[in-house]
């Protein structure tokens, strides 16, 4: 007990020093940190959103829409395939989870089935099928009725690509906000977790994420007016009624066929109209898009076309002349902010499906700062009270325990900085709780020493026995603590997880400080002072 | 120098003698908890019920009744307002319409409130949980409590004997039920951090129990002929000083957090303070009577002793 091997002393010194070094950056101002040479620790504790302020959003990718869009596209493909083969059909449509069509002549059914099967492709949904490519559609014919359904592998593959695409788009849109260190993670099969620190008002963020931003250019159907079509319930085939953004009550009859889609855009910038001075968004097509746009506008001079964003018509200008340069501008009575945001959305690209907000937690920076201050005050007062109490109960040995306690707090801070674990408000509570329980190991040891003294052992023998015999309960007691921290970490999220982290780190460091640091101090003292009696 | 001693040396409190009173009391607590759970239920926070919480700070002292009228006119269903710490701070709770699925994560509700209150107030905190997520949170929280209890049982069984494991688990169940009783009876808000507090209580209570068990095991080896009741009394008395000391230091730290740690974390701290008190009681008065009731195989104690002796011989 009295003898400490050299390597143990070195280890204790090294661990403590490392704790001090990794804790130190937290007390330096940010400007000074930049001058710290890179070989020295220079990371500060990573504060959670509840302490630094910011937004936490849990988004869900609406995969139902993805499947619906897919069925719509498949229906169009079937129509085209049958037309190419000159096969007569009736009742082509999306029927629940499938595309169905009735072939008019029985002798055509086989050709039709082959043609539709030809539309299929191979997909590999890496998890479910074990990586092997599978067909994406199954085609069944019963009598004259052909049913096209999507295989599970296809649905899964589509959901996976939808979420990956969404993550990418979300990242691009958030990057445009210019915030620091946003976190964007996939959760489960169809969810995206977004954490943006330092954002006081998340409404702009949500506005940016809340739009799919599917832009396309379509011709306006001028065969009849929208009002008339709605009144007589006869909407021409291949057209639909959409509403204007600025005046929602005004409907417009728009062709379903898309002239040019938003995926052909290469750039979009906010600007001002040279004549009217109102905010606009100017855009540029890629070469195919530019050529297509030029052709359609050339053929339809004098007719109006609609600029459609997420099924709402932004504006419907009349084509004055063929637009061949591959660029143009959108005006729609925007405010400067709206023009800015639209340009961001167009540059970042469209989401494959809408995102729903399932959960939001936003903390303002001022509340975060208040929480840090309150947590700090509570920690200092709590620690001081524990320190005083330990001294009152155990005298000099209390001082030894308190030194170990200080080392413990330093180690926790160092570990948090090193691991870059997130410190949350419950996390601070975890540290304070640890301060309370950390002395437990020393209490166990000291109480044991008292007992050994009472049965008449010499001070040195009592101390020796105290440390040795208290070890088993210390380990047992801390393992149970650690188990509950681990379960919390696995099943908790956000702030609660931060609590689990500090609790778990605290358990490990407090065992270390109690059974090595404290023991080292006590043994050094015993060797120097050679006490005949000890007062404990 | 005089030392502060919370527990005098060599206490000889006959804990086992009074165990029937304690068991009766504990049984009443558990029963009351079950009754309260089914009759009063819980005041679930938005984590488990879904809904929206908005904390605002007004420029002057907040006029709660004016705010209440304005928000009630929005037709958002059940709106509760409450002063939160300071005079200027108000906590607004908006429930989900009864039985109706909420709009996507409360976004419409938040928008309406912000439009009504405008930019003059500061939005300190906005939390909104949709019904889908709150359902999942209930499941994972329940799972967390069950898993940790099972893990504790497994660990104690592994380190001691199944009788000890059972005693430990019953004392955990007792602590959890007692905390649940307080939250249900006084209708304190029950949310995710309450679960975190519950798990911490579980860990803490085990910590206490394990120390007592450890001493029992040691005494079982030392005094092979001693009556079990006497042995339990001895073990509890020997460790009593430590049990109380640790509870006091932990309580000191937690009370500091309760007073100075701010409004956000107060209910969390309250749950833990209560848990420490009940956990201290249960490690003395629930775990031990269970062992009295089911008995311990002394065989095991002597086998362990044999092994211990072998080790000691080796060392010598």
Task: Annotate chain B with three-state secondary structure.
Answer: CCCCCCCCCCCCCCCHHHHHHHHHHHHHHHHHHHHHHHHCCCEECHHHHCEEEEEEECCCCCCHHHHHHHHHCCCCCCEEEEEECEEEEEEEEECCCCCCCCCHHHHHHHHHHHHHHCCCCEEEEEEEECHHHHHHHHHHHHHHHHHHHHHHHHHHHHHCCHHHHHHHHHHHHHHHHHHHHHHHHCCCEECHHHHHHHHHHHHHHHHHHHHHHHHHHHHHHHCCCCCHHHHHHHHHHHHHHHHHHHHHHHHHHHHHHHHHCCHHHHHHHHHHHHHHHHHHHHHHHCHHHHHHHHCCCHHHHHHHHHHHHHHHHHHC
Contacts of A358 in chain B (CB under 8 A): 104-105, 129-130, 132-133
Contacts of A188 in chain B (CB under 8 A): none
Contacts of B193 in chain A (CB under 8 A): 426, 495-496, 499
Q: Report whether pLDDT(B79) > 60.
A: yes
Six-digit token pair at A138?
């199954």
* Interface probe with A: pick from B260, B287, B312, most Cβ of A within 10 Å: B260
What pLDDT does residue B145 have? 86
Q: Report whether pLDDT(B305) > 50.
A: no
Q: Is B63 near chain A, with CB under 8 Å? A: no
What is the C-alpha to C-alpha distance for residues A97 and A137, in angstroms, rounded to an integer?
12
What pLDDT does residue B308 have? 38
Residues A411-427 have pLDDT tens digits of 999 999 999 888 988 89
Q: Which of these, A315, A353, A355, A311, lies nearest to A331 by C-alpha position?
A: A315
What pLDDT does residue B298 have? 62
Q: Is B204 near chain A, with CB under 8 Å? A: yes
Nearest to B246 among A395, A426, A437 (CB): A437
What pLDDT does residue A156 have? 84
What pLDDT does residue A73 have? 85
What would the mean pLDDT of A335-340 be, rounded to a whole number?
86
Contacts of A367 in chain B (CB under 8 A): 55, 124-125, 264
What pLDDT does residue A414 have? 93
**Nearest-Cα residue of chain A relative to residue B108:** A357
The CB-based long-range contact list for B149-156 (8 Å cut-off, 24+ gap) reads B149/B173, B149/B176, B149/B202, B151/A483, B151/A487, B152/A480, B152/A483, B152/A484, B152/B202, B152/B206, B155/A479, B155/A480, B155/A483, B156/B206, B156/B210, B156/B213
Instruction: State the Cα torsion A525-A528-A529-A534 to the nearest 10°.
Output: 30
Q: How far is CA A218 from CA A212, A306, A307, A309, B50, in A?
A: 18, 5, 7, 11, 42
CB contact under 8 A, B215 and A473: yes
Nearest to B155 among A381, A429, A483 (CB): A483
Six-digit token pair at A78?
């079937």
Contacts of A344 (CB under 8 A, 6+ apart): A173, A176, A208
What pLDDT does residue B307 have? 37
Residue B148, burial from CB neighbour count under 10 angstroms (0-12, 13-18, 19+): buried
**Nearest-Cα residue of chain A relative to residue B212:** A473
Q: Which of these, A469, A475, A459, lies nearest to A397 by C-alpha position?
A: A459
For residue A241, list its beta bridge partners.
A253
What pLDDT does residue A144 have? 85
Q: Report whether pLDDT(B99) > 50.
A: no
**Nearest-Cα residue of chain B relative to residue A191:** B133
Contacts of B124 in chain A (CB under 8 A): 363-364, 366-367
What would the mean pLDDT of A499-518 be, rounded to a whole number?
90
Contacts of B199 in chain A (CB under 8 A): 484, 487-488
Minimum distance, in Å, between the CA of residue B197 and any CA atom of chain A: 10
Question: Is the separation of the CB atoms in B287 and B23 below 8 Å?
Answer: no
Nearest to B125 among A362, A443, A476 (CB): A362
pLDDT band at A118 (very low <50, low <70, confident <90, very high): confident
- pTM to 2 decimal places: 0.80
What's the half-sphere exposure (Cβ side, CA atoms, 13 Å) at A143?
A: 5
What would the mean pLDDT of B92-98 be, rounded to a whole number?
74
Six-digit token pair at B125?
């905190």
Minimum distance, in Å, between the CA of residue B22 and any CA atom of chain A: 24
CB contact under 8 A, A491 and B259: no
Nearest to A360 among B106, B203, B250 (CB): B106
pLDDT band at A232 (very low <50, low <70, confident <90, very high): confident
Q: Is B315 near chain A, with CB under 8 Å? A: no
What is the C-alpha to C-alpha distance for residues A134 and A124, in angstroms, rounded to an integer?
6
Q: What are phi and psi of B187, to 5 degrees?
A: 50, 45
Contacts of B214 in chain A (CB under 8 A): 472-473, 476
What would the mean pLDDT of B173-202 be, rounded to a whole number?
90
Q: Is B12 near chain A, with CB under 8 Å? A: no
Minimum distance, in Å, between the CA of residue B62 and any CA atom of chain A: 17
Buried b vs exposed e over A359-368: b needs ≥16 C-beta within 10 Å? Answer: bbbbbbbebb
Q: According to DSSP H, which parts of A306-395 are helical?
A: 336-348, 365-394
Q: How far is CA B262 from CA A20, A372, A373, B64, B257, in A?
A: 29, 9, 9, 21, 8
Nearest to A454 among B9, B192, B206 (CB): B9
Nearest to A392 among B4, B10, B261 (CB): B4
Nearest to B250 among A437, A447, A492 (CB): A437
What pLDDT does residue A223 have? 84
**Nearest-Cα residue of chain B relative to residue A474:** B211
What is the C-alpha to C-alpha distance for residues A222 and A428, in angstroms, rounded to an integer?
66
Nearest to A382 among B193, B248, B252 (CB): B252
Q: Report whether pLDDT(B299) > 60.
A: no
What's the half-sphere exposure (Cβ side, CA atoms, 13 Å) at A350?
A: 18
Question: Is the separation of the CB atoms in A69 and A214 below 8 Å?
Answer: no
Q: Coil, strand or helix: which one is A29?
A: coil
CB contact under 8 A, A485 and B203: yes
Residues A25-55 have pLDDT tens digits of 888 887 887 777 877 888 888 888 889 889 9
CB contact under 8 A, B192 and A496: yes
Q: Is B59 near chain A, with CB under 8 Å? A: no
Question: Is the separation of the CB atoms in A245 and A271 below 8 Å?
Answer: no
Minimum distance, in Å, between the CA of residue A488 and any CA atom of chain B: 7
Contacts of B114 in chain A (CB under 8 A): 203
Which of B311 and A485 is assigned the larger pLDDT? A485
What would the mean pLDDT of A281-287 be, rounded to a whole number?
90
Q: Is B4 near chain A, with CB under 8 Å? A: yes
Q: Is B161 near chain A, with CB under 8 Å? A: no
Contacts of A160 (CB under 8 A, 6+ apart): A125, A126, A189
What pLDDT does residue B149 have? 87
Contacts of B250 in chain A (CB under 8 A): 433, 436-437, 440
Query: Considering only residues 279 to 308 of chain B, which have any Cβ-Cβ distance to chain A shorter than 8 Å?
Result: none
What pLDDT does residue A2 have? 60
Nearest to A378 among B125, B245, B260 (CB): B260
The pLDDT > 70 percentage for chain B reads: 90
Minimum distance, in Å, between the CA of residue B25 and any CA atom of chain A: 26
What is the count of residue pairs from A and B with beta carbons less than 8 Å apart?
A: 236
Q: Which of these, A249, A264, A258, lies nearest to A328 by C-alpha position?
A: A264
What would the mean pLDDT of A462-485 be, rounded to a whole number?
88
Residues A199-213 have pLDDT tens digits of 766 778 888 888 888
Q: How far is CA B301 from CA B161, B165, B239, B296, in A?
A: 10, 16, 19, 9
Question: Is the separation of the CB atoms in B128 and B110 below 8 Å?
Answer: yes
Q: Coil, strand or helix: which one is A319?
A: coil
Q: Are strands A239-244 and A312-315 parallel, antiparallel or unpaired?
A: parallel
Q: Report whether pLDDT(B80) > 80.
A: yes
The pLDDT > 90 percentage for chain A reads: 18
CB contact under 8 A, B249 and A439: yes
pLDDT band at B316 (very low <50, low <70, confident <90, very high): very low
* Interface probe with A: pick from B194, B262, B266, B308, most Cβ of A within 10 Å: B262
CB contact under 8 A, B124 and A472: no
* Interface probe with B: pick from A386, A476, A494, most Cβ of B within 10 Å: A476
Six-digit token pair at B103?
């709009």
Q: Report whether pLDDT(B315) > 80.
A: no
**Nearest-Cα residue of chain B relative to residue A440:** B246
Contacts of A478 in chain B (CB under 8 A): 207
Q: Is B105 near chain A, with CB under 8 Å? A: yes
What pLDDT does residue A257 have? 83
């Amino acid at each position: 007990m009295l003898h400490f091997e050299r390597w143990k002393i070195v280890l204790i010194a090294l661990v403590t020093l490392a704790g001090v070094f990794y804790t130190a950056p937290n007390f330096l101002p940010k400007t000074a940190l930049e001058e710290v040479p890179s070989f020295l620790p220079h990371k500060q504790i990573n504060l959670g959103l509840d302490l630094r302020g910011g937004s936490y959003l849990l988004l869900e990718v609406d995969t139902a829409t993805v499947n619906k869009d897919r069925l719509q596209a498949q229906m169009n493909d079937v129509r085209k395939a049958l037309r190419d083969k000159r096969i007569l059909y009736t009742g082509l449509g999306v029927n629940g989870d499938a595309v169905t069509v009735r072939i008019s002549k029985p002798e055509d059914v086989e050709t039709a089935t082959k043609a539709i099967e030809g539309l299929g492709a191979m997909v590999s949904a890496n998890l479910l099928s074990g990586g092997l490519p599978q067909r994406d559609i199954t085609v069944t014919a019963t009598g004259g009725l052909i049913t096209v359904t999507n295989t599970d592998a296809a649905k899964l593959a589509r959901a996976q690509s939808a979420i990956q695409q969404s993550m990418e788009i979300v990242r691009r849109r958030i990057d445009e906000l210019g915030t620091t260190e946003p976190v964007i993670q996939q959760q489960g099969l169809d969810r995206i977790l977004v954490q943006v620190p330092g954002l006081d008002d998340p409404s702009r963020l949500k506005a940016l994420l809340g739009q799919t931003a599917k832009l396309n250019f379509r011709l306006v159907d001028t065969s009849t007016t929208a009002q008339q079509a709605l009144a007589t319930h006869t909407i021409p085939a291949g057209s639909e009624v959409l509403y204007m953004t600025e005046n929602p009550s005004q409907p417009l009859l728009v062709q379903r066929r898309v002239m040019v889609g938003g995926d052909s855009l290469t750039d979009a910038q906010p600007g001002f109209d040279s004549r009217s001075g109102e905010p606009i968004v100017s855009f540029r097509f890629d070469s195919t898009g530019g050529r297509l746009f030029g052709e359609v506008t050339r053929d339809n001079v004098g007719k109006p076309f609609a600029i459609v964003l997420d099924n709402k018509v932004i504006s419907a200008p009349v084509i004055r002349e063929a637009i061949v340069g591959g660029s143009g501008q959108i005006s729609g009575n925007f405010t400067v902010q709206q023009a800015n945001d639209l340009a961001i959305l167009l540059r970042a690209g469209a989401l494959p499906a809408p995102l729903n907000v399932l959960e939001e937690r936003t903390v303002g920076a001022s509340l975060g700062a208040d929480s840090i201050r309150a947590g700090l005050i509570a920690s200092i007062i709590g620690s001081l009270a524990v320190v005083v109490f330990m001294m009152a109960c155990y005298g000099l040995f209390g001082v030894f325990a308190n030194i170990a306690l200080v080392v413990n707090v330093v180690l926790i801070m160092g570990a948090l900085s090193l691991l870059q674990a997130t410190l949350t408000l419950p996390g601070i509570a975890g540290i304070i709780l640890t301060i309370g329980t950390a002395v437990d190991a020393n209490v166990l040891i000291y109480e044991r020493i008292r007992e050994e003294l009472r049965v008449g052992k010499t001070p040195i023998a009592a101390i020796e026995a105290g440390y040795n015999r208290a070890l088993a309960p210390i380990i047992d007691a801390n393992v149970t603590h650690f188990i509950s921290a681990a379960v919390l970490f696995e099943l908790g999220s956000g702030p609660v997880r931060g609590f689990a982290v500090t609790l778990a780190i605290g358990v490990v460091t407090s065992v270390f400080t109690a059974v090595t640091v404290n023991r080292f101090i006590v043994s050094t003292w015993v060797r120097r002072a050679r006490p005949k009696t000890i007062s404990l | 120098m005089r030392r502060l001693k919370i527990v005098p040396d060599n206490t000889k409190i006959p804990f086992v003698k009074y165990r029937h009173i304690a068991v009766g009391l504990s049984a009443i607590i558990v029963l009351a908890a079950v009754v309260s759970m089914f009759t009063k239920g819980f005041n679930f926070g938005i984590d488990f019920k879904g809904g929206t919480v908005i904390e605002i700070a007004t420029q002057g002292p907040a006029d709660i009744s004016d705010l209440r009228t304005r928000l009630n006119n929005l037709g958002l269903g059940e709106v509760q307002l409450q002063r939160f710490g300071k005079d200027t701070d108000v906590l607004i709770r908006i429930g989900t319409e009864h039985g109706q699925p909420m709009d996507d994560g409360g976004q419409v509700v938040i928008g309406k409130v912000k439009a009504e209150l405008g930019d003059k107030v500061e939005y300190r905190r906005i939390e909104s949980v949709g019904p889908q997520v709150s359902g999942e949170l209930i499941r994972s929280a329940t799972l967390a409590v069950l898993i940790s209890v099972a893990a504790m049982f497994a660990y104690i069984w592994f380190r001691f004997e199944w009788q000890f494991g059972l005693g430990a688990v019953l004392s955990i169940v007792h602590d959890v039920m007692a905390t649940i009783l307080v939250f249900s009876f006084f209708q304190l808000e029950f949310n995710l951090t309450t679960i975190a507090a519950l798990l911490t209580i579980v860990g803490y209570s085990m910590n206490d129990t394990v120390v007592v068990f450890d001493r029992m095991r040691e005494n079982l080896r030392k005094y092979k002929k001693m009556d079990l009741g006497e042995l339990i009394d001895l073990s509890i008395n020997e460790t009593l000083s430590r049990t109380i000391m640790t509870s006091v230091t932990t309580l000191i730290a937690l009370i500091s957090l309760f007073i100075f740690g701010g409004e956000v974390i107060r209910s969390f701290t309250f749950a833990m303070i209560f848990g420490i008190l009940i956990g201290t009681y249960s490690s003395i008065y629930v775990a031990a009577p269970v062992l009295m009731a089911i008995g311990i195989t002394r065989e095991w104690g002597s086998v362990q002793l044999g092994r211990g002796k072998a080790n000691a011989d080796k060392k010598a």
